[in-house]
Amino acid sequence: MTISVLRRTLLVGTLGLALGAGWLGQAVAGEQLDNIKKAGEIKIGLEGTYPPFSFVDESGKLSGFEVELSEALAKELGVKVKLQATPWDGILAALESKRLDAVVNQVTISEERKKKYDFSKPYTVSGIQALVLKKNVDTIKTADDLAGKKIGVGLGTNYEQWLKDNQPKAIIKTYNDDPTKFQDLRIGRIDAILIDRLAALEYAKKAPDTAAAGDAFSRQEAGIALRKGEPELLDAVNKALDKLRADGTLKKLSEKYFNADVTQ
């Protein structure tokens, strides 16, 4: 065998292995929906500390809009749901490492995130809102008013990135959990919190010394986050959401927790 023939043989063999590995990788990646159905459950991650989306109620049980949405989603898929309370700063990593099958936790759909994850159709529409002490409600009306103020945001959230992009003069304080963030606001360690508008309005109801300041800064849509390369699972999730929207389940859950339809 000549050297040129040997080289061609090795090249063809290498390409064959690479293509085979690629097809195998795609096949394995596309099997997640089958794996979920075989296991009889879907593992869904949410924080569990973000009312009214997910929280622990007085009986010690996970409750909230996204908890009930996850349960309804699993029912449409024909499986049970296994809810896994996970801190925000590790929840997407848990999805990537396959400890979770999906994340239902007000994950805002952004171009940057779409590079790493697949998203379902949006199931809530909201905006970025400043929450302040009620006595300071007139101090923030626009993004310009955030300059020089200490603003609390969740670490690694779209609120942190929005603040960096839109008001670099703000003093950013990041948090790994919501309770500490809200506590710091109420005792004056920070001037405001940037959170989802729906969550801000709900929190202000329960803590009358706080208030949503001004209008929402931007529109944001939340979707169910999934790993890339799972088209069958993505399609099944979207069909389930379509069914829940068509039969009124989404609207009913929305009105239960927000007294309004926040799903469109």
105 and 234 fall within a common domain: yes
CATH of the domain at 198: 3.40.190.10
Instruction: Give me the pLDDT at residue 172, please.
Output: 98
Query: Is 264 contained in some domain?
Result: no
> 28 pLDDT exceeds 60?
no
66 and 77 fall within a common domain: yes
Enumerate the β-bridge partners of residue 213: 130
Q: Which domain covers residue 209, as residue numbers?
A: 126-219
140 and 250 fall within a common domain: no
Helix pair angle (65-77, 231-246), 10° resolution: 110
Q: What is the pLDDT of residues 134-176, one digit of tens each?
A: 999 999 999 999 999 999 999 989 899 999 999 999 999 999 9
> 14 pLDDT exceeds 60?
no
Mean pLDDT of the chain, nearest integer: 89
52 and 177 fall within a common domain: no
Phi then psi dihedrals of residue 161, to 5 deg: -65, -40
Cβ-based neighbours of 193, under 8 Å, separated by 6 or more: 130, 131, 132, 151, 152, 153, 181, 182, 185, 200
* Cα Dmax for the chain: 87
Cα dihedral 7, 26, 120, 195, rounded to 10, equals -60
- Higher per-residue confidence, 77 vs 29: 77
- Total domains in the chain come to 3
132 and 98 fall within a common domain: no
111 and 237 fall within a common domain: yes
Number of H helices, E strands in the chain: 10, 13
Query: Is 164 contained in some domain?
Result: yes
101 and 116 fall within a common domain: yes
Give the Cα separation of 183 and 188 in Å (integer). 9
Give the Cα separation of 147 and 64 in Å (integer). 34
Give the Cα separation of 34 and 174 in Å (integer). 39
Q: What is the pLDDT of residues 62-76, one digit of tens each?
A: 999 999 999 999 999
- Residue 1's pLDDT band, with cuts at 50, 70 and 90, is very low
β-strand pairing of 41-46 with 102-108: parallel
Enumerate the β-bridge partners of residue 43: 82
> 218 pLDDT exceeds 90?
no
Q: What is the mean pLDDT of residues 190-195?
A: 97
Helix, strand and coil percent figures for the chain, each rounded to 5? 45, 25, 25
SS3 64: coil
118 and 134 fall within a common domain: no
Q: Which of 41, 231, 42 is nearest to 118 (CA)?
A: 231
pTM: 0.74
